[in-house]
Structure 1
Amino acid sequence: MAHNTTAPQDVDALLEAARRAGGTVTKPAATTSYGGYAGCFADPDGHLWEIAHNPGFPLADDGSLTISDFGSL
């Protein structure tokens, strides 16, 4: 599963919150190949989560993804 954030610093904050709640950080946050920032954790039930900030996927105020241009796709 994945959760997108509006800012890179939110990735660190959410990974820390997950750790404090009993999750295990499986991949510390780092810069990605697409220019974003992401890390992963396993929740107490063993489900894997990616927490990511992707500057190419702007989020609306309600958290929905707002992709408006797919270029030549």
Structure 2
Amino acid sequence: MAVAGEVVFFQLNGLVLSLYPRAALARDAGVAEAGSGFSGITLAHNVRGEAEVDAVLGEAARVGGRIVRPAHRAEWGGYSGYFADPDGHLWEVAHNPDFPIDGAGNTRLG
């Protein structure tokens, strides 16, 4: 487990579970905290580099996703963007240089 400010991270085999306060997560995703359309949960897909963030967001948009927040330099030192899938679920696509991804595709807390 690692704690950094408003977020706590749990290593789960090759996955990482991150818990944020609702307001902080809404702010990070660029959506309103209150009202319909934000359930308080996002799914994240970590990738190995910034170009891959752009590629995954582009593919999501191409197949019917809606870009909610374009890729940008994140305040935590990485590069990320958000899209909503056709059912309205929010996904973050992120490159976090502090969370290496091994050859098997497992994300590790750095």
Instruction: Trace 1:58-73 onto structure 2 (pairs within 5 A).
Output: 58-67=100-109
- Counterpart for residue 82 of structure 2: 40
Q: Which has the higher contact order (CA 8 A, sep 6+)?
A: 1
Given the two structures, how large is their TM-score scaled by the length of structure 2?
0.59
Flag as ranges the 4+ runs of structure 1 deviating above 2 A.
Answer: none
Deviation of the 1:12 alpha carbon: 0.4
Given the two structures, how large is their TM-score scaled by the length of structure 1?
0.88
Gaps of 5+ in 1: 69-73
User: How many correspondences in the alignment?
Assistant: 68
CA offset digits 1:6-64 (Å, max 9, x no partner): 01110000000000000000000000112100000000111110000000000011211
* Aligned: 1:5 with 2:34: no
Backbone CA RMSD of aligned residues: 1.0
Select between 11-20 and 59-68 the one with higher mean Cα deviation.
Answer: 59-68
- Counterpart for residue 71 of structure 1: none
**Identical positions, percent:** 50
**Out of 4, 12, 16, which is 2:58 matched to?**
16
- Counterpart for residue 73 of structure 2: 31
* Separation in structure 1 between the aligned mates of residue 108 and residue 44 of structure 2, nearest angstrom: 16
